[in-house]
Structure 1
Amino acid sequence: MMEVAGPWTEVFEGSERTEESGGADSLLGSSTLTLAPLVSDSPSIRRSQPIFITSNRTRGGDSSSLSSSVPSIPNPFPELCSPSKSPVLISSCSPSTSDKHLIKVYGEDSHSRSVWVSSGATAREVCHLLVQTAHCSDQENWALLEVHPTLGLERCLEDHEVVLKVQATWSLKGDTRFMFCKNYAKYEFFRKPMLFFPESMISDSADVSKGMTSAELIQNLLRSGTCPEIQGFLHVKESSRKTWKKVYFFLRRSGLYCSTKGSSKEPRHLQCVADLEDLNVYTVVNSRKLYGAPADFTFCIKPSKNPVRAQDLKILCAENEQTRTCWTSAFRLFKYGKQLQCNYQLSKSAPRSLDGFNLSDSKSKSEASLVAMDFSGKAGGRVIQNPTEAQSAEREEGQAWRRREALRCSLPNLNSNTRPSSIHKTQPWFHGGVSRKEAQRLIEKQGLVDGMFLIRDSQQHAQCFVLSLCYKLKTKHYLVIPCEEGGRKYFTMDDGLTLFIDLLQLVEFHQINKGILPVCLKHPCVCVAL
């Protein structure tokens, strides 16, 4: 017997029965077996097609669309995947417009923050956005730095520069980043031009107006958004060698030139080094170790539209900080001109908040309007016009303040625990055990303006502190020594003439009185954490 599985039928043809021997064999031999399907001539198979399901459906002919019942899941890590390729719905995280771009900005504690910015966002707008998102105290004196850690380069972006255009010039394999920090000296040369442009560095050919002093010349040029021609010797690193050569340079509106013969200004001896329209100027950090520079006052210029490469850098080294600052400020003024004057006026007219450190900032801003007063007479207060008398009144007030504080601290019912001696550790101007060199670098990064300060632990004297203060583009260091008087512990900087019960009191006193310092404490050097 033969069984055929499946939906098939058996069809036998020519199956006559015979009585002959071997009929069974004849039957099998004469018959043919064919298998035919039950459904003949079936149509071709049609496979199912995908159906597009819209996110909004209509019900019963109603034209009003209803939102999808599935809620959108916010993406907790928007910087890990782009919105177009993300498997997670991030409509609640990404901005509604496609004009937004995500950038990453680092704080001074190496932590970063990702922010959405428009394609035309300037550095000033990004700083204001970071001030709001990071809940910073004051609105101004912030800056966005372009940092190249491997090459040791840093540059403060101008307020009008477009951030995404700057980022587009970076190499994809580099470690370039944006850093958000304080910068008080961005427009300081408008306030104190003679400090930033010494008369010895101004070219003789710049004095076109006879009878005009250097100060008047600089003031007029800065008001018009330009700068006098700068000249002087700089050490330059040759590209093919590791040695440095001292060369005389000239900086003019048309570009940077060097003299091939001493300090000669003749056109046949001048060689063009760079065009100011197509370059950026950077300060160099740790230049002695990275490039073997003869001094720490190093800066470099490079083409602004090309990725940063070591072979494209023109590294220059000045003799001191004032010379370096003069060159870098002149580069900025010659390149941007009137735009810097507009940025400066805009920064002055911006509104400022009234919390946090802005109290001390407003105090320092109004310091120029303060006058010395004498209230000892019966007819009320009078303004002290004589500067010598004003200084004498200041010393007397400081001594009277010391006597009042000593009397208050000597009272028997004084609770010594109301103000612990470690209160300075909670203050933003205290930087712990940073080195002298690191303290100078922090002050330089946040701006070499008079009154910038920080306090740190002394590395040479146990239980002592150091006040690092910027004055006339230089960082000075003052030792704060602990001492005892009447069984109590004090701090002093003038061999016990003026005593303070803690460092906070020392800072508060010198924010109003200079004391032995050349200038009052104005701007605390604060590390920004995002």
Structure 2
Amino acid sequence: MLISGNMMEVAGSWTEVFEGSERAGVSGGREALLGGSTLSLAPLVSDSPSVCCSQPILITGSRVKGIESFSSSAPSIPNPFPELCSPSKSPVLNSSLPPPSSNKRLMKVYGEDSHSRSVWVSPGATAREVCHMLVQTAHCSDQENWALLEVHPTLGLQRCLEDHEAVLEVQATWSLKGDTRLVFCKNYAKYEFFRKPVLFFPECMISDSADVSKGMTSSELIQNLLWSGTCPEIQGFLHAKEPSRKAWKKVYFFLRRSGLYCSTKGSSKEPRHLQYVADLEDLNVYSVVNSRKLYGAPADFTFCIKPSRNPVRTQDLKILCAENEQTRTCWTSAFRLFKYGKQLQCNYQLSKSSLRSLEGTNLTDSKSKSEASLVAMDFSGKAGGRVIQNPTEAQSAEREEGQAWRRREALRCSLPNLNSGTRPSSIHKTQPWFHGGVSRKEAQRLIEKQGLVDGMFLIRESQQHGQCFVLTLCYKLQTKHYLVIPCEEEGRKYFTMDDGLTVFIDLLQLVEFHQINKGILPVCLKHPCVCVAL
């Protein structure tokens, strides 16, 4: 096409198309175009006599239907990925959705490694049921002694939910702008006061509210509290933080079924000197973490009571501090007993019965599995191997084989011609009780969170002594620390806690020995403090 001045020459067959024109009529395939303003050029198509390609084609509804019918006439090709087109039939997508016509709610639960898992929870689901659900989904090895911990990181508050508490009802009391979360963790001390009441309730803190001169034992306290009509009381001095002030004041408190009281005059129990503090039915008790820094507490044994139905507000907190861990545990356990009473005993009996049934089920399952696919063999005889039919004998043979392996490994690793690089000195890093280089304070916090029961332990790297380790152990509600020192004799490397009197080739052997023998420890190692990851 050549354009020069006002002259325009078009090479080839072209026709004029006026956009925006209206049809005046159709005659012999040619259309008359009325008034337009835009000029464009379009090539003529000679082999399409029925359609004039120079005209704009309007796609109507019938045209769309025609295309649909045309596409439907094509041969159908099966869809190799139907779940991508039909989410309602997709098992992958439905696993993260609640069942149809369900009123379940999505709840996020955190592990101790700060990772979380979302689960669908029914409105009436209890903490015990949610724990069992998490045990199944996280493939935990044991079924009991799990708990949901309600944690308020900013305020330093945490408490273990009771097994019968409805989780969604607890979550409904939280502030929407807060950082409150649920943490799935171990807790061996939920019902420890039923097993060792004397340790948890010193007789000096127990009295009968009906008779001031009459004392009670710890066993009588629990018995009277759960079965009889008489109501004992807990009494003692506590440091109380004054509202809106940083000052702390030492006050004498009384805990009764009717509520918490304090005396305005020393330890007087006269009604005119008693001041009402809180109602047990409408409060929860929390332990306080890092209380010295957050609240200026005189000691680390701090706990807090707050209304259970209201969001956490600083002005609603009643922060109290005890002289030692035993006193704090006595008060917090008494709050639970006074509030829930027989319900706690029912929870305790249910946990014991569930544990027995699970142990029986595990024995049955392991027996059927061994009979079906795996068998224990004895190759000690001269006539060849034999199958060990007795499960008790099979377990005994398994233990003996494990101990023999440890002896062989100890002998191999203690040979003087081996250098330190060939010894399995890092075998402890794969054990659940090893927590790396955590601090002394963090180790105490981990022990406290998983339950102050005798035999709870962990091993960590010493921050003050190079190449040394520390065994952190709980005994009588107190956390003790034992230094594990490496030593070398005749080219052999050992670990010891008693200046070389008893030596071990590695930390694993040290733990295995003290799980059976106390040695210099006050109690055998029983419960490893593990970090739960979801």
Cα separation, 2, equivalents of 1:157 and 1:429: 25
TM-score, normalised relative to structure 2: 0.72
Q: Does 1:336 align with 2:340?
A: yes
Task: Give the one of 265, 283, 286 matched to 1:282.
Answer: 286
Within the candidate set 503, 520, 526, 1:522 is matched to 526
Which of these residues, 442, 447, 459, is aligned with residue 446 of structure 2? Answer: 442
- C-alpha distance after superposition, 1:468-492 (max 9, x if no partner): 0000000000011111123200000
Q: Is the 8 A contact 2:447 2:474 kept in 1?
A: yes
Match of 1:390? none
Q: Do residues 495 (structure 1) and 511 (structure 2) align? A: no
2:98 corresponds to which of 95, 100, 103: 95
Residue deviations 1:229-282 (CA, integer Å, cap 9, x gap): 100011111112111111100000000000011110001110110000000001
Q: TM-score, normalised by structure 1?
A: 0.72
Question: Is residue 257–residue 274 contact of structure 1 (8 Å, CA) maintained in 2?
Answer: yes
Aligned partner of 1:272 in structure 2 is 276
- Spell out, residue by residue over 1:49-100, the C-alpha distance to the aligned partner (whole angstroms, 9 max, x if none): xxxxxxxxxxxxxxxxxxx999454999xxxxxx9xxxxx954531214221
Deviation, 1:6, is: 4.7
**1:155 counterpart residue number:** 159
Contact 2:416–2:491 (Cα < 8 Å) also in 1: no
Q: Which residue of 2 aligns with 1:293?
A: 297
Q: Matched residues in 2 for 1:418 and 1:435: separation?
A: 29
Contact 2:151 2:159 in 1 (8 A): yes
Deviations 1:464-518 (A, max 9, x none): 1100000000000001111112320000011111110000000000000000000
**Equivalent of 1:464 in 456, 461, 468:** 468
CA distance in 2, matches of 1:74, 1:307: 44
Give yes or no for contact 1:433–1:459 (8 Å, CA) kept in 2: yes
Name the structure 2 match of 1:177.
181
AA in 2 matched with 1:183: N
Verify the 8 A CA contact 1:231 1:251 in the aligned structure 2. Answer: yes
Shift of 1:205: 3.2
**Is the aligned partner of 1:186 residue 2:213?**
no
1:114 is matched with 118
- RMSD (CA atoms): 3.4
| Aligned counterparts of 1:434 and 1:406: Cα–Cα separation in 2 | 28
Higher relative CO (Cα under 8 Å, sequence separation at least 6) belongs to 1
Note the residue ranges of structure 2 that are not aligned, 5 or more in a row.
1-20, 26-59, 62-78, 364-405
Number of aligned residue pairs: give it.
415
1:235 and 1:354 map into 2 onto residues whose CA distance is 45
Alignment of 1:315 onto 2:319? yes
Q: CA deviation at 1:117?
A: 1.1
1:315-338 CA distance string (max 9 Å, x none): 111111100000000000011110
Q: Secondary structure at the match of 1:489?
A: strand
Q: Distance in 2 between matches of 1:182 and 1:74?
A: 43
Paired AA for residue 221 in structure 1? N
List aligned pairs for 1:215-294, cutoff 5 A: 215-221=218-224, 224=227, 228-294=232-298
**What CA distance in whole angstroms lies between the structure 2 residues aligned with 1:74 and 1:349?**
48
Structure 1: runs of 5 or more not aligned: 10-46, 49-67, 77-82, 84-88, 359-401
- Look up the match of 2:28: none
Q: Which amino acid is 1:220 matched to?
A: Q
8 Å contact from structure 1 (residues 225, 333) kept in 2 = no
Q: Secondary structure at the match of 2:232?
A: coil
In the alignment, is the contact (CA less than 8 A) between 2:203 and 2:216 conserved in 1?
no
Query: Following TM superposition, by how much is the alpha carbon of 1:417 offset from its aligned partner in structure 2, in angstroms?
Result: 8.1
Whole-angstrom distance in 2 between the partners of 1:70 and 1:409: 56
1:119: how far off? 1.0
Which of 198, 213, 222 is matched with 2:202 structurally? 198
CA-CA distance at 1:214 after TM superposition: 1.4
* Higher strand proportion: 2
Bigger helix share: 2
Q: Is the 8 A contact 2:109 2:182 kept in 1?
A: yes
Deviation of the 1:288 alpha carbon = 0.6
Structure 2 distance, partners of 1:178, 1:150, is 14
* Inter-CA distance 423–74: structure 2 relative to 1 (3 Å threshold): farther
User: Contact conserved, 1:74 with 1:92, CA < 8 A, in 2?
Assistant: no
3-state SS, counterpart of residue 514 of structure 1: coil
The one-letter amino acid of 2:162's match is: E
CA contact (8 A) 2:149 2:183 kept: yes
Q: How far 1:132 sits from its partner (Å)?
A: 0.5
Once the two structures are superposed, residues 377-429 of structure 1 have per-residue CA deviations (whole angstroms, 9 ceiling, x without a partner) of xxxxxxxxxxxxxxxxxxxxxxxxx9999877666899998860110011110
Q: Which amino acid aligns with 1:153?
A: L
Bigger Cα displacement from structure 2, 441-450 vs 480-489:
480-489
CA, structure 1 residues 206+403, in 2 after alignment: closer, same or farther (shift >3 Å)?
Answer: farther
Instruction: Give deviations 1:411-455, integer Å, cap 9, x for gaps.
Output: 689999886011001111011111111110100000000000000
Aligned-pair CA distance for 1:220 = 2.1
**Alpha-carbon distance between aligned partners in 1 of 2:422 and 2:141, rounded to the nearest angstrom:** 27
Query: What is the match of residue 60 of structure 1?
Result: none
1:505 equivalent among 492, 509, 519: 509
Mapped to 2, the partners of 1:489 and 1:407 lie a distance apart of 12
Cα 1:488–1:69, aligned 2, differ >3 Å: closer, same or farther?
closer
Contact 2:484 2:497 in 1 (8 A): yes
Indicate conservation of the 8 Å contact 1:185/1:448, yes or no: yes
Task: Confirm or deny that 1:474 pairs with 2:514.
Answer: no
